[in-house]
Chains A and B, each alone.
Chain A
Amino acid sequence: MNTSELARRDKFQFSMLLNDKRYRSYTFQFFALFILICAMAYLGKNLLENLAAAGLNISYSFLGEPAGYDINQRLIEYNSQSTHLRASIVGVLNTLLVAFLGCIAATFFGVTAGILRLSNNWIVAKLMMIYVEIFRNVPVLIWILIIHSVFLAFLPQPKAFRGENPEATMLWDAFAFTGRGFYIPKPVFYDGSFIVIVTFILSIVGIFAFRYYARQKLYLEGKLLETRWTSVGIFFIPTLIIYFALGSPIGLEYPELKGFNFKGGIHARGSLISLWFALSIYTGAFIAEVVRAGIQSVEKGQSEAAGALGMRPNFIMNLVILPQALRVIVPPLISFYLNITKNSSLALAVGYMDITGTLGGITLNQTGRAIEAVLLLMLFYLAISLSISAIMNVYNRSIMLKER
């Protein structure tokens, strides 16, 4: 092949758009973009025609109108005269509340079950296996409905607490578990409570500072300071001293039986409790498998090597096994947290008013603004998912094996 031939080949020809690997990708991308734009235009045209035919428009002004419905479980002030926007915010907070509680409880169930599945006690390991398999293989919606009916069926109604010889009693006169929900004491803040809270926060900061100091001491001077009991001391003592010195500025308001129902305290509705419990025990089964896999992924040689270096068992666990197991456990764990958040939208089935129940449920049905409401709903979930996965990417990068 002589040079002129090469030069001729390199000059752009129209057929190269299909036959030359260097240009072909442009052709493909151009067509993909073209088809995408056409499809979008077609769908957009249909949407506009349909909206015009139905006499609708896209407008978010409904968010400012009074909602006109009640929400029984709420974290912020709300009444039926509040706007749809405020109803949605109540829903958002309810979603975040059940997701947050669910994540904590699911981690607890999952870690416990995962560790117990590896127990050398045969019967415990088998029981945990049954728990994991049963909960993983049945839809979460069925679990939510089953657990909701368990709560309704087995917990006493408030009227059972009445009378001289009641069928049900409150736990320590402070907690009442009823079919209508749980009543728990509510903290009441008097003057000076602010100082107590600040002291408490400062002592937590102090614990971290002390631990940092102890670690520096260990690395620089080789001295091992006692940290556990000192930390416990810092945690309790200053706060308690300030608390009693100021004359107990934080009190508790206990729920009391008045008439046929409980008054006072915090009332967590039955729907919240059953949704919370169902989501956490269902996701816990998945987390258990992840925890088990994580622990098993650390080779036995690692703990044996640490033992050969003379480390004590709790040091082996904390410094050798856990950091390696967590690298396997944490990424799926976070995606299960995300799953809890997304599955909390099933609140609709038990009547818990989360964002899907308010914005995607009653608001949508009342105003008929389906497109706007569902779009907002999706954006909310999308924002949560994307922010959590951004955090996860940062974490993954930080724990990536530093080799090569």
Chain B
Amino acid sequence: MSENNSFVRKEMISERIPPAADRGLVKWVRENLFSSAFNAIMTFISLWVIYSITVAVIPWFLNGVWDAKTVRECYDLLDGKSGACFAVLNERFPQLIYGFKYPSSEYWRPNLATVLLIVALAPILFRRLPRQLLIFSAVYPFLAFWLIWGGSILTSVSAFLGCAIAVICYRRFSSRSFALAVLISLIAANVWWIIGGYIVDLNASFLSLEVVASRDMGGFMLNLLLGTIAVCLSIPLGIALALGRQSGMPIIKWICVVFIEFIRGVPLITLLFVANVILAFFFPPDTSIDLILRVLIMMTFFNAAYIAEVVRGGLAALSKGQYEAADSIGLDYTQSMRFIILPQALKISIPGIVNVSVGMLKDTTLVSIISMFDLVGMIRGPILSSTDWNGVYWELFGAAAAIFFVVCFSVSKYSQWLERQLETDKR
């Protein structure tokens, strides 16, 4: 037996690596880039596109001139080479960001307001942060008003105290009746504002910053200002409109429907025309409300109508059982909306609300058409028409596009992250 034994393997052979065509980079390339003849052609076309863009852009970018006084000087420095004239961004940077009238000694104020904006938004955006920070978020709007527009801090303090009094009154009476609580808090706040107005007038110079008029604001600051305020104001208004549209009371429902459909049916630019030339006719003859405020009113209405439609989608997506369950445990309308319906509906609506709001921020550039000097307005107006920088379209519009891209892209990424965070029903 032993001299004729067949071969018996005692130990395992170590695994052999797969053939070269089936592993690593080669495999990936074969599967993802050259899986068929058509795919191979597409790959080559894409590579050619990437190549031609790179060849055109990279030298233009690398040869860029950052230090020059005029566009002529720029071309002289470039000496016929292909290159960007980034010097315009360097020289006109304050104009692009703050507009051309904001006093340059006060640039720290909008800067500080922006930094504080991030601090104020942080606890709203990230739920892990300590809740006490929300107090700062509540104070922030009043602080930002003082920082950006200037004047005495007492104006902001008085406005804030009025709101605080309203909230306290509401808390005190809301257990009795919602309507009563709202009424009392409105009255209390207005009484305080009347008293506060006198106090402010007496001490107009207390902790006073240099007053900057609305029409002196410009640049990207104006875009950010309009976008942020319009979005913040339009979310509550939009929710109210959506609830009104869902309501069983025909008159209230039709008021909301007409408002929403009218606003959604016309382009924003016509609403800005209204703000620019018509709205003033509707205010009492002796008042003058400045353009930025009129634009803000129209933008808020515009955004609110779109948010209302998004929220309506969220409300419609809830099953009828949720409404019935809320009714059956004896909650009244405000309670059932506050504790049962809206938390769920708003969660569904978040991506939509963020999309609409990013759209609003982008649409703030339209104010350049009614000759306000936002980022685009600054570029098209004072910068491109100046003799120094005539014809440097690419660098300026490229920079504007880049600024908007960074802001809008990060906001939409945040909303995707938030959507994943709020997914409580899926594991």
Binding site for B on A (CB under 8 A): 18, 25, 28-29, 32-33, 36, 43, 46-47, 49-51, 53, 119-124, 127, 133-134, 136-143, 145-146, 149, 153, 342-343, 345-346, 348-349, 356, 360, 364, 370-371, 374, 377-378, 381-382, 385-386
> Chain B's interface: helix, strand, loop or mixed, by majority?
helix
Residues in chain A near residue B264, CB distance under 8 A: 385
Contact across chains for A120 and B261 when beta carbons are under 8 A apart: no
- A46-B281, A381-B265, A386-B265 known; A356 and B408 CB under 8 Å? no
Q: Which residue of B lies closest to A140 (CB)?
A: B362
Bound CA span A343–B369, Å: 13
Contact of A377 among B270, B376, B404 (CB under 8 A): B270
Chain B residues with CB under 8 A of A53: 285
A29 with B249: CB separation less than 8 A: yes
**Segment touching A, from B7-15, B32-40, B86-94, B128-136:** B32-40
Report whether B404 and A29 are in contact in the complex, using a CB–CB cutoff of 8 Å: no
Among B365, B397, B405, point to the contact of A146 (Cβ < 8 A). Answer: B397
The CA of A318 and the CA of B399, in the complex, are separated in Å by: 45
**Residue contact B42 to A385, C-beta cutoff 8 Å:** no
Contact residues, B62-92 vs A (CB, 8 A)? none
B400 touches A371 (CB 8 A): no
What residues of chain B lie closer than 8 Å to A127, measured between beta carbons? Answer: 46, 49-50
Given contacts A121-B39, A360-B270, contact A348 B380 (CB under 8 A): no
A29 adjacent to B250 (CB under 8 Å): yes
- Contacts from B to A (Cβ < 8 Å): 32-33, 35, 39, 42-43, 46-47, 49-50, 179, 248-252, 255, 261-262, 264-270, 273-274, 277-278, 280-285, 358, 362-363, 365-366, 368-369, 376, 380, 393-394, 397-398, 400-401, 404-405, 408-409, 412
Q: Which of A139, A146, A386 neighbours the largest number of chain B CB atoms within 10 Å of its CB?
A: A139
Q: Assess whether B269 is in contact with A137, with CB atoms less than 8 Å apart.
A: no
Bound CA span A50–B273, Å: 18
Partner of B269, one of A36, A50, A345: A345
A contact residues around B255 at 8 Å (CB): 32, 36
Interface centre among B43, B266, B398 (most CB of A within 10 A): B266
A141 touches B376 (CB 8 A): yes
Q: Interface SS of chain A: helix, strand, loop or mixed?
A: helix
Between A and B, how many residue pairs show CB distances below 8 Å?
A: 154
Q: Out of B250, B252, B365, which one reaches A141, CB within 8 Å?
A: B365
B326 to chain A, nearest CB (A): 14
- Complex alpha-carbon distance, A122 and B30, angstroms: 11
12 contacts between A and B (CB under 8 A): A47-B282, A49-B285, A50-B280, A120-B35, A121-B46, A138-B404, A139-B404, A142-B365, A142-B376, A143-B401, A374-B278, A377-B266
Q: Which residues of B contact A138 (CB under 8 A)?
A: 362, 401, 404-405, 408
Q: For A138, A143, A371, which residue has the most chain B Cβ atoms within 10 angstroms?
A: A138
**Closest Cβ of chain A: how far from B365's Cβ, in Å?**
4
Knowing A29-B251, A50-B281 are in contact, say whether A356-B33 is a contact too (CB < 8 A): no
